[in-house]
Each structure stands twice: as structure tokens, then as C-alpha cells.
Amino acid sequence: MSNLIEQAEADLEMTLEDTECGFGVALFFKDDQDADQQINCQTTDIGFFIDMSTGAGTITRNAEITARLSTLKMKNIPEIDRNVFIKYITTAGDEYKMKVTQPMYDRKIGLVRMSVEVAK
């Protein structure tokens, strides 16, 4: 039987990163070499930052992203702080940048929640 930490990591992997059965959404973070790294994260309100009537990006629409700390560390993503930019690419190939306005770490659980502003 696995210990509680291993079980918590497995739970986070499923709920935050699984794009097939879970809630994962592919986002791109800059690593310590300034290269894009795809990280699957859980998002809230991400589907509404596009104006449904025009298809245009909506400026400063707020959303929240939750990422697993162990995945960020494994992909050499520096500590998330304010003004870090995250990229989202739609299935149509449109790119949107999001700026972190407030990172909120929960090191006991092993995740970071980021409030972001969305601007194309």
C-alpha cells in the first residue's frame, strides 16, 4: 500500500493534469532557459475569456489556474510570482497570454493556484 504523500501526488496528477478523464488543460510556462514547457493544469473561467459573439479576446478577463508543484519543478519552471506570463493555445491555433496577478502556494498539498488576467 502506498503512503499518503504518494496517494496525494496520484490524486493531484489525475485532477489537475489528466486531459482525458480529468480536468487538465494544456498551458505553456517558460522554464529556466526561457523555453516553453507544456504543463497540464486545472483552470476555472478559462472558457469565457473569448467573446462568444465576436470570437475576439476579452481584455483583463480573470481566470484561475492550478498547477502541481512537482510537475513545475520537474520541468524546471522557476518559482511563480506576479507578472509571470502563461500561454494558452486554442484548438484553432489562436494564442492567448495570461499574466499572473496573485500566486497562492499550498506546499502541504503540493500545488499553486494563480489568479491571472487574460489579454490577447
Taking only the tens of pLDDT, the chain with its 120 residues reads 468 778 878 888 877 777 777 678 899 999 999 999 999 998 886 455 566 567 666 655 568 899 999 999 999 999 999 989 999 998 899 998 989 999 999 988 889 999 998 765
What is d(CA 96, CA 58) in angstroms, rounded to the nearest whole number?
10
Check: CB of residue 106 under 8 Å from CB of residue 113.
Answer: yes
Rg of the chain, C-alpha, whole Å: 15
- Residue 110: domain span: 4-119
| Domain count along the chain | 1
- Residue 22 CB coordination number (10 Å): 14
Smallest CA-to-CA distance from 89 within 38, 16, 30 is with 38
Domain with residue 39: its CATH number is 2.30.110
User: Helix, strand, coil: what percent of the chain each, to 5?
Assistant: 20, 45, 40
Is residue 58 a contact partner of residue 96, using CB atoms and an 8 Å limit? no
